[in-house]
Amino acid sequence: MAVCPTEADGFFCVMSATVLMDAATLERTLTRMAHEIVEHNPEPESLAFIGIHTHGAPLAKRLAAKVGAILKREFPVGELDISMHRDDLALRDAPPQVGPSNITFDVTGRAVVLVDDVLFTGRTIRAAMDEISDFGRPQRIQLASLIDRGHRELPIRPDYVGKNVPTAPGERVRVRLVEIDGKDEVVIER
Amino acid sequence: MTTTSWNHKDLLGIQDLTVDEVNCLLDTATAFKQVGERAVKKVPSLRGKTMVNLFIEPSTRTRTSFELAAKRLSADVINITTSASSIVKGETLKDTALNLQALNTDIIVIRHSAAGAPHFLSRLLTASVINAGDGAHEHPTQALLDAFTIREKKGRIAGLNVTILGDILYSRVARSNIWLLTKLGAHVTLAGPSTLVPRVFEEFGCRVTYDIDEAIRDADVINLLRIQHERQRKTMFPSIGEYAAMFGLNKERFARTKPDAMIMHPGPINRGIEIDSEIADCGRSVILEQVTNGLAVRMAVLFLCAGRKHSTEGAE
């Protein structure tokens, strides 16, 4: 289904967008990922979730809630802004907007599930892992990504994937979430 | 990922900044303040960059703050003070700066007794130039850290009554603060001896009064300034003792301030002169938090000015 993206810039709608996931599919996908996290963490006491700003943060909260519901316990959730750890600052014309990271628990010894919406080059994940180690020394870090669109530039692979989406480099995958955008969906824009 | 609207290679003064740019800087500083609370208080943002602290006028706290800010951003730092530099051998500021640039420095933080020295360097150099105080003109990072502290503690700046008390005439902190606070919508009152608080400051958009009790009665923030012995060419008031009695913030005056009035001071404080010792240490004094916030604000300044593609803007 081709729809015109509501936030298309300019006068004409030049991009087409295809819906990859609707709200129900997104919900089911997160439930399945939560079960996979439970399956791969037989000793869940040390589990903690850290979402990457912006869309990883609500996804981390949802995954933590789902895993918590399955295991009948609460898990700590943090938020990471990786702008200070980017490797492309010297290549950019304008500095990025940096926000604070909010990790109120001690990550040392934890099994951290790092959560992001779209996995692409892997550079964000590299920066996130660097930043997490500034807060302490986790026992392990696992990666959960709602979408894996390929085109990795670093040797990084996810442990939990919502959906693998083959893309061309110029295409754009947008994850929209109720908490930020008012609705749940994943679209690909060409 | 969102980028900022910041488009300056230098920070020369408050006058050049828009309200959006100030807010961008204060937001960025909020993020950097949090870095200081981590196990590892260092981020790699300016790795490989070199910063020179060129302090032609003595300073301990500002220089240390800039040095630590740069180190927490992983930049390399060199400190140059007048006594240890070729300035005593007769080298001009221009030549000193060009020599530093020939060493591929990326950021030059300058403090100079002459107003406009940083502006002069910024036209000359491709490196980022940060004004750490030029004569009695501007001290932008001090004003920004004061605004950051007010915003953090009071939740806003617009509409607040801010009283700046003391030596206004010789104070670059006062000038930068006046420009910044009025830009952000605060009501600024200046008070002190008439020799140090000339009426001409009303042209800056603030109120001038010589009645200290009236000046502090409705203040939400009281910013005390140090008497600048080193910048006064002749005595502007009869004695330090008289200044303390007439204009110092003592316990009696403090008791008549609003119960939530916040006490600020850029340091170094002269206990018993502009402020009573007990007031400096009381719960409403944020003097030490200003120091902590100064580090975060300077990290934000360095990050925004130097954390991007090397620019050739400004080079002659």
Give the model confidence (pLDDT) of A40-84 as tens digits: 999 999 999 999 999 999 999 999 999 999 999 999 999 999 999
Q: Which of B7, B10, B2 is nearest to B21 (CA)?
A: B7
| Inter-residue contact B171 to B197 (CB < 8 Å) | no
Dump the DSSP string for A107-170. Answer: -TT-EEEEEEEEESSSHHHHHHHHHHHHH---SEEEEEEEEE----SSS---SEEEEE----TT
For the cut 60, the answer to whether the pLDDT of residue A143 exceeds it is yes
**Helical segments of B82-211, H only:** 93-102, 117-124, 140-154, 172-183
Confidence of residue B313 (pLDDT cuts 50, 70, 90): very low
Answer yes or no: is A164 within a domain. yes
Tally C-beta pairs within 8 A across A and B. 79
Contacts of B288 (CB under 8 A, 6+ apart): none
In a domain, A1, yes or no: no
- Predicted local confidence at residue A1, as pLDDT: 41
Q: What is the pLDDT of residues B195-218, one digit of tens each?
A: 999 999 999 999 999 999 999 999
Domain boundaries, position A78: 16-88+97-189
3-state SS, residue B222: strand
Which residues are within 8 A (CB) of B188 and not within 5 positions of it... i.e. 6 or more apart?
Answer: B162, B163, B164, B177, B178, B181, B182, B204, B205, B206, B207
Closest CA to B225 of B259, B188, B200: B188
Confidence of residue B229 (pLDDT cuts 50, 70, 90): low
B307/A89 CB distance under 8 A: yes
Give how many domains chain A has, as a whole number. 1
In the predicted model, what is the mean pLDDT of residues A120-145? 96
Amino acid letter at B313?
Answer: E
Residues facing A160 on adjacent strands:
A144
Instruction: Give dist(CA B210, CA B266) in Å, integer.
Output: 22
In a mutational test of the B interface, the residue from A52, A81, A84, A129 whose CB has the highest number of chain B CBs within 10 Å is A84
In this prediction, residue A14 has a pLDDT band, given cuts at 50, 70 and 90, of: low
Tell me how far apart the alpha carbons of residues A120 and A162 are, in angstroms, rounded to a whole number.
Answer: 14
With respect to residue A108, please indicate whether it lies within any of the assigned structural domains: yes
Is a pLDDT exceeding 80 seen at residue A94?
yes
Residue A3, in any domain of the structure: no
B230 pLDDT tier (thresholds 50, 70, 90)? low
Q: For residue A137, what is the domain's CATH number?
A: 3.40.50.2020
Question: How many CB atoms are closer than 10 A to CB B222?
Answer: 28
pLDDT at B307: 85
What's the rounded Cα separation, in Å, for the pair B216 and A11?
Answer: 55
pTM of the model: 0.89
A116 pLDDT above the threshold of 60? yes
pLDDT of residue A95: 87
pLDDT, tens digit, 9 for 90 and up, residues B80-101: 887 767 777 788 999 999 999 9
Q: Is residue A21 part of a domain?
A: yes
Residue-wise pLDDT for B118-134, tens only, equals 999 999 999 999 999 99
Q: Which residues contact B13 (CB under 8 A, 6 or more apart)?
A: B131, B137, B138, B140, B176, B179
pLDDT > 70 fraction of chain A, expressed in percent and rounded: 92
Residue A90's pLDDT is 80
Q: What is the mean pLDDT of chain B?
A: 91
Looking at residue B239, what is its pLDDT? 83
Whether A2 has a pLDDT exceeding 50, the answer reads no
Task: Flag the least confident range among A66-80, A106-120, A138-152, B269-283.
Answer: B269-283
- Per-residue pLDDT tens over the stretch B275-288: 999 999 999 999 99
* Residue B259 contacts A where some CB pair is shorter than 8 Å: no
Asked if the C-beta of A105 comes within 8 angstroms of chain B's C-beta atoms, the answer is no
Nearest-CA distance from A170 to chain B in Å? Answer: 16
Domains in chain B, start-ordered, CATH in brackets?
A: 19-139+292-306 (3.40.50.1370), 140-288 (3.40.50.1370)
Q: Is residue A65 part of a domain?
A: yes
Q: What is the pLDDT of residue B1?
A: 66
Residue A162 resides in a domain: yes
